[in-house]
Chains A and B, each alone.
Chain A
């Protein structure tokens, strides 16, 4: 089973709202990733967690705040987003860093 789940599937939020995206995997993977994907573009890495510790932050604005409360769960907290942050947000996991990444279905975010 290589399933990564993400909730919600769609999210519409105003620029003053606070919301969170959730990602879950039960494959025992110890590396988890957040990507942002704009239309007709490849995914762009945002954050990497390894053994629940932040390993990479790709210079992402502080209005995006990741959290890894346990080895199965990865959250992305959103606050004061801009319309240009509207995108598909993808979560992925891998056994450990460097191994094959498996992606979730994504959360489509619209910021008004």
Chain B
């Protein structure tokens, strides 16, 4: 079965510092992977997605993620954190067992940004 693991329920960084949010996946087939961001009291917004094309994926708001098959990872990075990046971040993978109808989400990582 497909699954994703997000290491760290909370990550704290200072404004201007590197952001690194970790996601490891388990999949029996080449996965489609997604990062979503959720700001307080809002829905989920797609940050970026990997669909087996380029392994380095650029998304919105300066975020990018690199697909590493050897490490089964899809970590999210941003060179310089901004206060407005404070939010909950979810990694997700399409679920083969339901014919890809279902997204399997990680447990989420809350990013805290201090001045």
Q: Which residues of B are in contact with A by a Cβ distance under 8 Å?
A: 32, 34, 36, 41-46, 49, 90, 94, 98-103, 105-108
Contacts and interface: CB of A to CB of B under 8 A. Distances in A.
A56 B102 CA distance: 9
A4 B100 CA distance: 21
Contact of A103 (B43, B100, B106): B43
B101 A103 contact: no
A55 B101 CA distance: 9
Interface residues of A, number: 25
Given A42-B90, A98-B94, A100-B34, A90 B44 contact: yes
A108 B41 CA distance: 8
Contacts of A41: 107-108
24 contacts: A4-B43, A41-B108, A43-B44, A43-B90, A45-B103, A48-B101, A48-B102, A55-B101, A56-B98, A56-B101, A90-B43, A92-B44, A97-B99, A97-B100, A98-B94, A98-B101, A101-B46, A103-B36, A103-B44, A103-B45, A104-B43, A105-B42, A106-B43, A108-B41
